[in-house]
Every structure is written in structure tokens, then in C-alpha cells.
Structure 1
């Protein structure tokens, strides 16, 4: 897509959803929602879905004390 300069992303620094979930739990948070985010350049449209292989977002909340 050419949105960012080459070298902007280092694939070795990307984390999996499992790694993120471990970090969330380690921070004393509870994962409430995890969803994939996809972009369709032909339709110029973003959408939510189940595919979390590349782009995803999460919602976590502080665990009640």
C-alpha cells in the first residue's frame, strides 16, 4: 500500500495474540475482547473479524480487588 516508509515495521518485534494475552494477565488485567482488523484496499474499507494473524485489537479491564 505504500503508506509507511520501508523498514518501519520489524516483524521480529510483532507479538502474537498469545503473547499479548500473557502480558495482559501478567499486568493484573482481564482480557474482555479480542478481534481481528482487516483492510480491503479495493473497497477502501476496514472491517472487524476473527482473523487475528496480522492486525488485531483488544479490550482489557483491571481485575476487581
Structure 2
């Protein structure tokens, strides 16, 4: 089983490293969480990083299922 306990969820997004994002994405890809809430927490964290530091998640956009849309 995968534990979503990670330093990446406790630190400001500006301080998150590529290695931490890689670990987060790996947990999401393995999808072996003990509860749905752990997976959801990781997913929201990766999504937050994607909005604030998109260069770190370019390889993992498929995990976020984000589509471009026009709010106009």
C-alpha cells in the first residue's frame, strides 16, 4: 500500500521540488491508497502545483484530466 504522507503536502508550492512532484505522481499512478481521501489529497496537491508551477507537472497532466476551456 502507498502512503500519501509526504513533505510535499506540508510545504509551500513555491518550495516543492521536481523530485517531490515525481513521487506524488508515482503514488497517483500506482493508485494503492488505503482510503479514497488519501488519493484525493494527492490529486488536489498535484493540481495546485500545476496551476502555480506548471513546469513541474508537464509530464503528469494525464493524471489531472485537465482540459482547456473558455470562460468568456
- Tell me the TM-score range normalised by the shorter chain: under 0.3
The TM-score with structure 2 as length reference comes to 0.26
Query: Which one has the largest radius of gyration?
Result: 1
Q: Flag the structure with higher helix content.
A: 2
Q: Flag the structure with higher strand content.
A: 1
